[in-house]
Amino acid sequence: MPSQFMKNFFVRYVPTRFYRTFKRLALLPADIRAALLGTRNSFIPPASRTFVYGVDPDFKVIGAEYLKHFIDLGGLKPNHKVLDIGCGIGRIALSLTGYLSRGGEYRGFDIIREGITWCRENITPRYPEFHFEVVDIYNRTYNPYGKRSAADFKFPYRDDYFDFVYTTSVFTHMLPADMENYLAESARVMKRGGRCIHTFFLINDEALFHMAQGTAVFNFIYKREGYLSVSKIEPEKAVAYDEPCIRALYKKYQLKIIEPIHYGNWCGRKECLSGQDIVVAEKA
């Protein structure tokens, strides 16, 4: 697992495409060795192909962590219909395979084709109620050749369908118009009384205080129109929003926030549930 110093360095100074290349080259020999020796878990993506800052243990631990939050905070039940917005290479989906019952249903989509391909080849054959879809949405950092705008994208699901909707580390990489549309679409496809969990980097007085102490992994020093970023040339690398603005958007789309917001340790807080700020809401 990389040190905190190395995480800080990569987040602040290394372009995402270079980080992903570096990570693949660094971890590929271990993946090859594990494959040759037959010691790699075939139900976990090779470490060199995962999208997170970390390797195999991080991948499994984070999935288990969020499943617990979904159950404890979001009221997720085994028979629920679930939507995973930005499902990546199955980090959360894999944890859900052991929880959702045959009466439940999982739908996930992502803009990175490689992740969807792995999930379709490795998860769906074992769990046919798990469905994955690639969407060609433009993102300067993660899909620079995408043909569709996230701000105009309509989720390919009908109104009032899902019991539970979530994003993890998605709104933290989206600019305001894109993020608002995805939040609106989350509300549209949720059943009344359904719940959603989204993660953010929220700027409030406490976060500003901690950032000023120099303890933050994500130091949002570049102020833009409606958001802050850690990068001058790669805004979507990590995006933060003022908390009052996010609260107003939830109210706009008739999503009632279930208090309290569970603030993360991204800015240096000590007592936290997770790395990012977790917002739980219910559709009115």
16-68 confidence digits (pLDDT tens) = 666 666 666 776 777 677 777 776 676 777 766 666 544 445 678 889 999 99
Lowest mean pLDDT among 62-76, 137-151, 256-270: 137-151
Residue 126 lies in a domain: yes
> Encoding tokens for residue 107?
């739908």
Residue 38 lies in a domain: no
Q: How far lies 31's CA from each of 34, 37, 48, 58, in Å?
A: 5, 10, 7, 15
Residue 24 lies in a domain: no
> Encoding tokens for residue 276?
């990012």
Q: Which residues constitute the domain of residue 264?
A: 54-283
Q: What is the pLDDT of residues 246-261, one digit of tens each?
A: 999 999 999 999 999 9
Strands 239-242 and 202-203 come out as parallel
262: CATH:
3.40.50.150
Residue 17 lies in a domain: no
Residue 10 lies in a domain: no
Mean pLDDT of 214-232: 91
Residue 255 lies in a domain: yes
Share of the chain above pLDDT 90, in %: 70
* Domain count for the chain: 1
**CA 279/CA 170 separation, integer angstroms:** 13
Residue 47 lies in a domain: no
Residue 136 lies in a domain: yes
Q: What is the pLDDT of residues 174-222, one digit of tens each?
A: 999 999 999 999 999 999 999 999 999 999 999 999 999 988 888 899 9
pLDDT for 55 equals 46
